[in-house]
A and B are shown apart, each in its own frame.
Chain A
Amino acid sequence: QVTLKESGPALVKPTQTLTLTCTFSGFSLSTTGMGVSWIRQPPGKALEWLARIDWDDYKLYNTSLKTRLTISKDTSKNQVVFTMTNMDPADTATYYCARITGTYYYYMDVWGKGTTVTVSS
């Protein structure tokens, strides 16, 4: 059974850096074709894709946020770490990690429950 769980602070101050960890089980990020994505959803708004890391350490970022984002993996711990710098109240959202899979036409087949992050002084 594949599961993912997000963890990190519920509250961050403006200009601070957000660090979130996705701990997963049921698959390995050293397996060909596997990947993990981060997605966020501001209250009452649509989903927004943020970043992706693949089994071979290939990384992709949302172009509009790229300068603020970093994604990395620790295969031995089955974890993916996501950071977003210079946080702003507009970054208040629920942040999800999800396994990304597929052949060329990628999709997220299993999602974590999400973690809510509020940006406020």
Chain B
Amino acid sequence: SSVLTQPPSVSVAPGKTARITCGGDNIGSNSVHWYQQRPGQAPVLVLYYDSDRPSGIPERFSGSNSGDTATLTISRVEAGDEADYYCQVWSSASHHVVFGGGTKLTVL
């Protein structure tokens, strides 16, 4: 099954750009989905198919995926973006949903 590696934490000042990576063997050949989980709340889908945004998700959220790394980019970071972020893929080999270990985004 796939193993997805995320940095435990990322810090960014308000108004700056945050980049959260998700590493995996040839992850670029898969589609990566991203979830935001604010403290005490359920996860919310913020990107699917690498870079598509569900309705209601700001354009500040974007994504890319190539080679062994997928990246969630949050532009003009706001205090409300402070949350845990999880990447996810579907492993066709194991028929599993696979999550990364999560990254805590801190807005300084």
A interface list, Cβ under 8 A from B: 37, 39, 46-49, 52, 60, 62-63, 96, 98, 100, 102, 104-114
Contact = CB atoms under 8 A, between A and B. Distances in A.
Contact of B99 (A46, A102, A106): A46
Interface of B: 1, 30-31, 33, 35, 41-45, 48-49, 54, 86, 88-90, 92, 94-102
A46 B100 contact: yes
Contact of A49 (B45, B96, B102): B96
A106 B100 contact: no
A109 B56 CA distance: 12
Contact of A47 (B30, B31, B44, B102): B102
Nearest to B33: A107
The prevalent SS among residues of A at the interface is: strand
Nearest to A96: B42
Contacts of B49: 102, 105, 107
Contacts of A105: 30-31, 33, 49, 89-90
Contacts of B41: 113
